[in-house]
Every structure is written in structure tokens, then in C-alpha cells.
Amino acid sequence: MNKQNTSPYYQGDLIFIFLAFFAISVISIYAAGQFEQYGSGAWTRQIIYYLIGAICIVAINYFDLEQLEKLSIYIFLGGILLLIILKLSPAQIGGKDFAPIKNGAKSWFILPGIGTLQPSEFMKIGLIMMLASVIGKSTPRGKRTLEDDIILLLKIAGVAAVPVGLIFLQDAGTAAVCMFIVVVMVFLSGINWKLISLIGSVVVLLVASVLAVIILFPDFAKTIGIQQYQINRITAWLPDSSSAANQAQTQDASGSDKYQVEQAIMAIGAGQIFGNGIKNLKVYVPEAQTDMIFSIIGEAFGFIGCAFVVIMFFFLIYRLVVLIDRIHPYSRFASFFCVGYTALIVIHTFQNIGMNIGVMPVTGIPLLFISFGGSSVLSVLIGFGIAYNASVQLTKYQSYLFK
């Protein structure tokens, strides 16, 4: 097809990806509905979330990339404000839950007639936009001095510190996702590799130290602010279930992370090659519509269904990587946004599928585009809308270039 005769707003491959994830999500949540963990009508609410997300994608494409970059500071500050309001809000208002405390932290608002709102999900997109703006405005790679690199690194650290710190008080898993995004964007920003190596070594040492404290000294870990459920998630991942840390678990066996992972693995195995169908699920999995949705896909559609989901994520990631390279000469902001957005997709996909098959610890991180949840769906579709906008603008730039 001659692209010059096609509207630049028609990005067929991205539309296909959107529709494929929409279908997978709704069908999988419908299948999981037989367990009635979120009510049998959760799949209809997911349709509504996707429709709102589609409206957001259309609205985003009324802006050009320069306008989106100017908006990044307001979106970023708005996200921080929401996190602060959440931290300061009472657990209940008028006897009804408003910002309930779960596992020692407040992670979402409960809004009457709307549902839950999790600010940290939207903060991820705001953080990526702000970092993309900061890096995009810096001196291009190859022209920077070591002093320029240090200044850029300090700017990135200054942008990331407050939102990551606030999110860590709510959910260490989500904070880790944000840190991964920051690290990837720093690595691809063109900062001197020696400086990156030094900082990377310090970060790896700190992470290893924290894990060692959690595994070897769980009681001490609690005294420095690490919650029991976070300790349980790490120790449940370890093969030695007889450790002192595991013996200290306080969760009931039926609700433990270890039980959750075991059930997820059983469900995926029960699906075999072609699956048991969406109305014939036999293995009960806790959090089936959210954290463990991949196990539902495995039992309902078997290896074929799981492979299709993985292929779709690879297709999306490949499309974003190509876009990163091609849009860079025209908009550094869009290019670096796609870097951060790709990092977000990669870490969520790897972590969520990994914890469903038992190779990663349970962190409560959803499978983006597919897991049930308004905040998760809307935030990732807003990011998708910005990437879609970048692809549209690239098509326009290229068509003008070859006229």
C-alpha cells in the first residue's frame, strides 16, 4: 500500500496490537470470572476501561510532540501531588474507605461510583515524560563533556528521587519498576559508560545487600522499614522453604505467595497444548484476574495461547524499538519517551510472566494491557497513545521529506 495515499493517523500495526490485547484481556478476564474474585462482571468493566483508554489515545493525537513535551512538567507535578495527597489522606471518610491501608501502606483511592485510582500507575507515565524531556533537551551524545554528563545525571536523579521515594512508601515492587525505567533511560542517554559503570556497581551492591538482609536477617529487615509481606515475597521465591524467614511468615497458607505461585504453575500445566476452554477452568488461582492472569490464559488456551501473548508483546517491543531509532532525528523527546515506555513494557512482561511460572518473586505487578484494573489499563494506554502519536508524526515527517 502506498503510504502517501494513506492517512498518517492510520498506523495499522499499532491498531492491530491494540485490538489484539483488548480481545485477549476481555476474554481472559471473562474466563477468570468463574472464580468470582472481582465479580462476574469484571470483564464488562475492562471494556469500559479500554473504551476510555481509546478516547485518551484519540485525544492525545490532537497534540503535536512539542505540545506534549511542554505538558510533561504539569503531568509530572500533578502525579507527585496525587501521591502526596494519597499519603496524607485518611483511610476512611464518613465511615467509608477512601485511602485504605493494606500491608502497612496506602496505594490507592476508593472513589464512590468510579472505583479505585492508583496514582503510582499514572506517575510512571509522568516520570517517563519528564525524563524524556530532560534528556531530550541535553547536549547530544558525542558533544557532551564529562561535566555535562554529571550535570545530566544529577538532573535525572533530581527528577526521579521524589516520585520513586513516594512510591516506595506505598509499593516496593512499583518503585523497583520505576528504578528500572530510570536505569534504562540513563544507559541510553549517552552518558559516559565509565560513569554509568561506577553508578551501576553501587546500585547492584546496594540491591544485593538489601536482599541479603531480607534473606538472612528478616527480623532486622523489619526494623529498617521493610514490610513482612515484602519479606514473604522474597523468601517464598527461594527454593529452601524451611528457612527461618519462611517459618516467620504470618500469612495463611491459602493466601500465601507460595500457594499462589504453585496454583498458577498447576493452571498453566493443566492447559497443556490447546487449553481447556474459557468455561472449563479447573485450577483455582488467587488474584486470577490481575496478578495471575497469565495462568488463566495458560489453562484456557494452553501453550498456543501463552505463545501468542508472548509473541504480541515481542511485536509491540520490536515496533517501539524501531520507532525509537527512526523518530530520534525529528524528536528526541519522543525517542526517549519510547525508550522509557519500552522499558516499562519489558519489565512488567518479564516480571509478571516470570512470577506466574515461578522464576521470579511475586510482586503484585500486573501484566500490562491484559490484567484487570482501571489505573493500569488507562495509564498504559495513555503511554501507548503518546507512542502512537510519535509514529503518526514520523509518518508525516517522512512523507514531507520524500515529496
> Of 103-117, 207-221, 247-261, which range is least confident?
247-261
Cβ atoms of 268 and 355 within 8 Å: the answer is no
Which SS3 state, helix, strand or coil, does residue 116 take?
A: strand
Q: What is the pLDDT of residues 132-187, one digit of tens each?
A: 999 999 888 777 788 888 999 999 999 999 999 999 888 878 888 999 999 999 99
Among 89-98, 149-158, 219-228, name the most confident range. Answer: 149-158
> Of 6-20, 114-128, 191-205, 280-294, which range is least confident?
191-205
Cβ atoms of 320 and 341 within 8 Å: the answer is yes
pLDDT of residue 1: 40
pLDDT of residue 267: 93
DSSP state of 140: P
Is the pLDDT reported for residue 51 higher than 50? yes
pLDDT of residue 91: 82
99: left (phi over 0), alpha (psi -120 to 50) or beta: beta
Is the pLDDT reported for residue 32 higher than 70? yes
Q: What is the pLDDT of residues 231-278, one digit of tens each?
A: 766 666 666 544 444 444 444 433 477 788 889 999 999 989 999 998
Pairing of strands 101-102, 115-117: unpaired
Backbone angles phi, psi at 302, to 5 degrees: 70, -165
Q: First-to-last CA distance in the chain? A: 17
H or E segment and range at residue 242: none
pLDDT average, residue stretch 286-313? 94
Q: pLDDT band at residue 363, thresholds of 50, 70 and 90?
A: confident
Which SS3 state, helix, strand or coil, does residue 129 take?
A: helix
Cβ atoms of 189 and 128 within 8 Å: the answer is no
pLDDT average, residue stretch 121-128? 96
> Of 26-40, 273-287, 362-376, which range is least confident?
26-40
pLDDT of residue 251: 43
Which residues does residue 106 pair with via DSSP β-bridges, in sequence order? Answer: 101
CB-count burial class (<10 Å; 0-12, 13-18, 19+) for 402: exposed
pLDDT of residue 253: 39
Cβ atoms of 118 and 107 within 8 Å: the answer is yes
pLDDT of residue 250: 40
Q: What percentage of residues in the chain have a pLDDT greater than 70?
A: 89
Instruction: Write the CA distances from 52 to 56, 108, 380, integer angstroms.
Output: 6, 19, 12
Is the pLDDT reported for residue 347 higher than 50? yes
pLDDT of residue 248: 43
Rounded to whole angstroms, the Cα distance separating 91 from 152 reads 39
Q: pLDDT band at residue 4, thresholds of 50, 70 and 90?
A: low
Rounded to whole angstroms, the Cα distance separating 143 from 135 reads 14
Backbone angles phi, psi at 116, to 5 degrees: -95, 150
pLDDT of residue 7: 86
Is the pLDDT reported for residue 293 higher than 90? yes
- Amino acid type, 357: I
Q: Is the model more confident about 286 or about 377?
A: 377
pLDDT average, residue stretch 106-115? 80
Q: What is the pTM of this model?
A: 0.90
Q: How far is CA 105 from the centre of its chain?
A: 19
104 Cβ contact partners less than 8 Å away, ≥ 6 residues apart: 227, 229
Q: What is the pLDDT of residues 382-400, one digit of tens each?
A: 999 999 999 999 999 888 7
Q: What is the pLDDT of residues 60-70, one digit of tens each?
A: 999 999 999 99
Rounded to whole angstroms, the Cα distance separating 400 from 403 reads 5
- Amino acid type, 230: Q
Cβ atoms of 33 and 40 within 8 Å: the answer is yes
pLDDT of residue 237: 64
Rounded to whole angstroms, the Cα distance separating 296 from 298 reads 5
